[in-house]
Amino acid sequence: MSALTITAVTKKFDTITAVDGLSLSVEKGEMFALVGPDGSGKTTTIRMLCGIVTPTSGMVNVLGFNVQKQKEEVKKRIGYLSQRFSLYGDLTIDENIEFFAEIHGVYDYADRRNELLEFTRLMPFRDRLAEKLSGGMKQKLALACTLVHTPEIIFLDEPTTGVDPVSRRDFWKVLSALLRTGITIVMATPYLDEAERCSRVALMDNGKILLADTPGNLKKVMKGEVIEIVCSDIRKAFALMKHYPGVLEVQAFGDRLNVVISSSADELPAICEHLNDQSITVSDWRMVKPSLENVFISLLTETKE
């Protein structure tokens, strides 16, 4: 059964179209990711699902309720964690959870608060002021406040942006455990490695969904084979590969290139020889499985051509 459906939704801000004819559905108990660069429409979509922003056209349905017409019923049943830390720095962890419990009409919250503190591993810090917490701990506190009224579905808008890698990993452990309780999670993230953990992913750009499927199925749309090449002078190598016959696509990742070719056995030796002839040393190469990042960049390239 669907936890939410969006049907032909468009949102315009004056002359800017932030979301353009979007349609999607998310099943109950699913972890669904909206992935895309800044300005792709992720946050606007999340805010429309929460009833914070009204669509210009189309219909949004969450947990069987029309968000435009039954906003209060929706709000009782969902949790929302925004991009920015929106809790109170001069209140302790305990006091923040208490405050948000009472906002949601939960007055017998002591047991629930203790459960959430244990769950997020914040119990030893419950008397600490929120402004004294690290970035990762702030996000866990925000999640605890989001969950205090036991919502059926939670919306997370880039919850780990600006959080250090260790705290990101800990936050995802909490989300994985949370998912086992049967809750539905819809998140927006710019991180494709995070999207790999989700049951389904929608790749967004310019307010539209380019493709939506499981991470495994998305990777199957990648044409050709991906060869990772480590070489000197990456910029020069990138420019050469973009125009080399037989290369379908080339993507640069730090000190290496991902070169997409139709057949590695036939074309790779000639590619390495060509780079060497141009005074570029190939120190290593290997075949790699396409990542979501490869797929997304490939889709973006296709749409711009």
**What end-to-end distance do the CA atoms of the chain give, in Å?**
38
pLDDT for the residue 270: 84
Q: What is the DSSP string of 83-135?
A: SS--S-TTSBHHHHHHHHHHHTT----HHHHHHHHHHTT-GGGTTSBGGGS-H
Query: In the chain, how many domains are there?
Result: 2
Q: Identify whether residues 148 and 237 lie together within a single domain.
A: no
Q: Identify whether residues 229 and 202 lie together within a single domain.
A: no
Q: What is the pLDDT of residues 178-208, one digit of tens each?
A: 898 999 999 999 888 889 999 999 999 999 9
Is there a domain that residue 294 lies in?
no
Q: Which residue has the tokens 């579905």?
A: 153
Is there a domain that residue 31 lies in?
yes
Is there a domain that residue 117 lies in?
yes
Kind of pairing between the strands at 200-205 and 208-213: antiparallel
Cα-based angle 80, 84, 90 (whole degrees, multiple of 5): 100
pLDDT for the residue 265: 62
Q: Residue 304: which residues within 8 A CB-CB, separation 6 or more?
A: none
CA distance 76 to 67: 12
Q: What is the pLDDT of residues 242-287, one digit of tens each?
A: 888 888 888 888 888 888 887 666 677 888 888 888 898 888 888 8
Q: What is the pLDDT of residues 30-74, one digit of tens each?
A: 999 999 988 899 999 999 999 999 999 999 999 999 999 999 999
Element (H, E) at 42: helix 42-49
Q: What is the pLDDT of residues 118-175, one digit of tens each?
A: 989 999 999 999 999 988 899 899 999 999 999 999 999 998 887 788 888 888 888 8
Is there a domain that residue 301 lies in?
no
**23-27, 90-94, 272-276, range with the lowest pLDDT:** 272-276
Q: Identify whether residues 136 and 250 lie together within a single domain.
A: no
The alpha carbon torsion through 283, 299, 3, 178 (nearest 10 deg) reads 10
pLDDT for the residue 268: 78
Q: Identify whether residues 189 and 268 lie together within a single domain.
A: no
Q: Identify whether residues 150 and 204 lie together within a single domain.
A: yes
pLDDT for the residue 205: 93
Q: Identify whether residues 141 and 272 lie together within a single domain.
A: no
Say yes or no to pLDDT of 85 above 70.
no
pLDDT for the residue 201: 95
Final residue of a structural domain among 216, 251, 267: 216
Q: Identify whether residues 157 and 115 lie together within a single domain.
A: yes
pLDDT for the residue 269: 82
CATH number of the CATH domain containing 134: 3.40.50.300
DSSP state of 199: S
Q: Identify whether residues 32 and 90 lie together within a single domain.
A: yes
Domain that holds residue 169: 2-216
Kind of pairing between the strands at 31-35 and 200-205: parallel
Say yes or no to pLDDT of 294 above 60.
yes
Q: Which residue has the tokens 């993507």?
A: 251
For residue 88, give the amino acid letter.
Y
Q: What is the DSSP string of 240-295?
A: HHHTSTTEEEEEEETTEEEEEES-HHHHHHHHHHHHHHTT--EEEEEEEPPPHHHH
Q: Identify whether residues 185 and 135 lie together within a single domain.
A: yes
CATH number of the CATH domain containing 269: 3.30.70.100
Are 221 and 211 within 8 A, CB to CB?
yes
Stretch 211-227: mean pLDDT, rounded?
88
Is there a domain that residue 50 lies in?
yes
The alpha carbon torsion through 109, 111, 113, 117 (nearest 10 deg) reads 180
Is there a domain that residue 176 lies in?
yes
- Alpha-carbon separation of residue 20 from 13, 55, 130, 204, 207 (angstroms): 12, 10, 38, 11, 5
Is there a domain that residue 118 lies in?
yes
Stretch 8-32: mean pLDDT, rounded?
95
Q: Identify whether residues 46 and 28 lie together within a single domain.
A: yes
Final residue of a structural domain among 216, 237, 257: 216
Q: Identify whether residues 238 and 204 lie together within a single domain.
A: no
Final residue of a structural domain among 216, 245, 260: 216
Tell me the residue length of the chain: 305
Is there a domain that residue 299 lies in?
no
CA distance 13 to 15: 6
- Alpha-carbon separation of residue 222 from 203, 212, 261, 292 (angstroms): 14, 14, 11, 9
CA distance 200 to 256: 29
Q: Identify whether residues 120 and 234 lie together within a single domain.
A: no
